[in-house]
Structure 1
Amino acid sequence: MVVTTNGEIQASSMLDYDQEKEFQEHFDNKAGVKGLVDSGVKKIPRIFHHNFKRLEDKPGMFKSQLSVPIIDVSGINQLDATKHLAIVDKLRDASKKWGFFQVVNHGIPISVMDNMITAIRRFHEQDIEKKKKHITLDTRRVFKYNGLPFDRSRLRTPVWNDCVSSSVDPLAPNFGQVPEGFRTPILDYTSHVKTLAVTLFELLSEALGLKTNHLKDVGCADGLFFVGHYYPPCPEPELTLGGTNHTDIAFLNILVQDEIGALQVLHQNEWVDVPPLPGGLVVNFGDMMQASH
């Protein structure tokens, strides 16, 4: 990969292209994709090129008329039996048919969510020298910058995003490694998330015909890992993706959506947009919540 004085990256031929070498160069630079954007590149490095063998392999190529379920859980603990059961029924239906749904009126203050998003932005938009000390593939580190998308133990095409990640529950003894500007927002936000998670697991237990506390008692609400993705503008968005199609293995994965509606889920062989709702959260039950029959 060669960056010219006018900010363009010279294309490599098939014969001289070394994916591993180019990846290592990018990783060693420690600036992430935000660094590429700041440097003024007009063409993205070859390692970010995704090979879309079929048109339908690229999310977003076809607009679906389907809509991801929306579940309102306002006052769930004060509702009468009929309204409570109606929410359980909606949750059961969304879980069986989608595995995804949006939850609204969940009790997490907008200010808490906004503070978390602001902390993510501030970290990624600060001077690169302040971020570099957090870039690592060391699994023992409690806070990592770009430790997930650049994991070369799995040979795959990198995606156009930077990210931070942190283990939050149980709280690690070395939590002090987390940047000061992140500590209060992440602890405040994840504390609310755990409360919501317990509520959802209780509702899901009831949807499965189990005792209300069953999933919580077997440990489904234990453990919490935080990931904050950041997507800088891409000069060639048609060549890459901000995230590849994948499945999650988490028991419960809650995604805060910003104003950019970029999330899609695969349902009935269609990529379905998940439009951001003010204050809404996207819930993904993940592979490990599947029940065999």
Structure 2
Amino acid sequence: MEIINESSTPVQTLAQSNTPKVPPQYIQPPQLRPNNHHKPPLSLSNIPLIDLSLSSDSLLTQLSSACRHWGAFHVLNHGVSTDLLDQMRAVGSSFFEDLDASQKLMYKCDQNSPASEGYGSRMLVSENDDVVLDWRDYFDHHTFPISRRNPSRWPHYPPNYRNVVEEYSEQMKMLAQKLMAMISESLGLPSSCIEDAVGEFYQNITVSYYPPCPQPELTLGLQSHSDMGAVTLLIQDDVGGLEVLNDDKWITVQPLSDAIVVILADQTEVITNGEYRSAIHRAVTNSNRARLSVATFHDPAKTRRISPAPELVAKSRPRYQEVLYGDFVKSWYTKGPEGKRNLDALLL
């Protein structure tokens, strides 16, 4: 794989050109198109919803079930104000919708480095021409450790953008730590188990913008994948488009304005020795409205070695080999995600 030239046209610009058809490089193969999968009735369509104010026993029971069977769930009463969630959505939307193309390009990503900070449309393409692109633009912020944080690289508009991102970053980190402690306890492990295994958080905040698409039945906003780190915390606007794979069915994650979506990532599956699962998810597009989501990733350092928790290995054989996280990231970016193939490569 190689980094695509960021001088290529942003997806938002393509959408604004009113083209009646998407360019060929955005058309998914027939078996991956969103309408080619059975979906349950809308009334049955959502991930679990967990109230973090519940009593300890009930909360841990619900967490265990959601982590074991889904790998993704909504949380309420999470301690982050709805006002801050709304502000984060608002500043992200302002960047994409209120700045012109030349202003956004002032913050473009480094085209020679994967997952570099800034504005872009796509990180990777195959050395061949057969890779399918996502119908998405994004802005990625490096927020933790503090040594990586450089707000001068973030948008200057609206005026409160940088302050909102900094406050949001702090709140998401505290929530991730709280959730990791509870998830550890739900497995009968010490509350610090998962966080100790992950080590210092490397946190990125990615605002994704999915413009209206003239042929949503042929495209994906984000291809099917599981996240590579430890835990992802996500909010979305009222448009919706996030889907989670469960029992071979794509389940729509209905937007809840005051809830946060928790998505377990691959290193948590390794640490829990497969007891808990990372969630395969994707984003679909629509023809009428732009969609915005904000994903906050909490990952280990690339020098961190990740392996199943000793307490769990003592009860049964290890299911995953130890991995240097930097090697896992390199594999993810060179081979592409394609569901869980990078995690499956660690299976013993």
Same fold (TM over 0.5): yes
Residue 226 of structure 1 pairs with residue 205 of structure 2:
yes
Write 1 or 2 for the structure with the bigger share of strand. 2
Secondary structure of residue in 2 paired with 1:275: coil
Secondary structure of residue in 2 paired with 1:131: helix
Q: Alignment RMSD, CA only? A: 2.3
Q: Where do 1:198-209 residues align within 5 Å?
A: 198-209=177-188
Looking at structure 2, the residues matched to 183 and 273 of structure 1 have their Cα atoms a distance apart, in angstroms, of 31
Residue of structure 2 equivalent to 1:145: 119
Runs of 4+ in 1 over 4 A off after TM superposition: none
Q: What do the CA deviations read for 1:41-97 (whole angstroms, capped 9, x no partner)?
A: 2221111111113xxx333542224641110013x6xxxxxx211101111111111
Residue of structure 2 equivalent to 1:89: 61
Residue 268 of structure 1 pairs with residue 268 of structure 2:
no
TM-score of the pair, normalised by structure 2: 0.68
Looking at structure 1, the residues matched to 21 and 56 of structure 2 have their Cα atoms a distance apart, in angstroms, of 53
Residue 130 of structure 1 pairs with residue 97 of structure 2:
no
Contact 1:257 1:280 in 2 (8 A): no
Q: What do the CA deviations read for 1:162-188 (whole angstroms, capped 9, x no partner)?
A: 111111101226442112333111111
Q: What do the CA deviations read for 1:257-287 (whole angstroms, capped 9, x no partner)?
A: 2101211111111111111123111111111
Q: CA deviation at 1:111?
A: 1.2
Choose which of 86, 90, 98 in structure 2 pairs with 1:114.
86
Residue of structure 2 equivalent to 1:237: 216
Residue 44 of structure 1 pairs with residue 22 of structure 2:
yes
Moved more, 152-161 or 32-41: 152-161
Query: Unaligned regions of 5+ residues in structure 2, if any?
Result: 274-315, 317-348
Name the aligned partner's letter for residue 68 of structure 2: K
Contact 1:261 1:275 in 2 (8 A): yes
Larger radius of gyration: 1
Quickly say closer, same or farther: Cα 1:198–1:221, change in 2 above 3 A.
farther
Secondary structure of residue in 2 paired with 1:202: helix
Instruction: Figure out how many residues of one structure are paired with residues of the other and give that number.
Output: 258
Q: CA deviation at 1:214?
A: 2.5
Contact 2:240 2:254 in 1 (8 A): yes
Q: CA deviation at 1:233?
A: 0.8
Residue of structure 1 equivalent to 2:134: 159
Choose which of 228, 231, 254 in structure 2 pairs with 1:252.
231
Name the aligned partner's letter for residue 223 of structure 1: Y
Q: CA deviation at 1:40?
A: 2.4
Q: CA deviation at 1:98?
A: 0.8
Looking at structure 2, the residues matched to 175 and 141 of structure 1 have their Cα atoms a distance apart, in angstroms, of 17
Q: How many percent identity over aligned positions?
A: 29
Name the aligned partner's letter for residue 49 of structure 1: I
Q: CA deviation at 1:140?
A: 8.9
TM-score of the pair, normalised by structure 1: 0.80
Query: Unaligned regions of 5+ residues in structure 1, if any?
Result: 1-19, 77-82
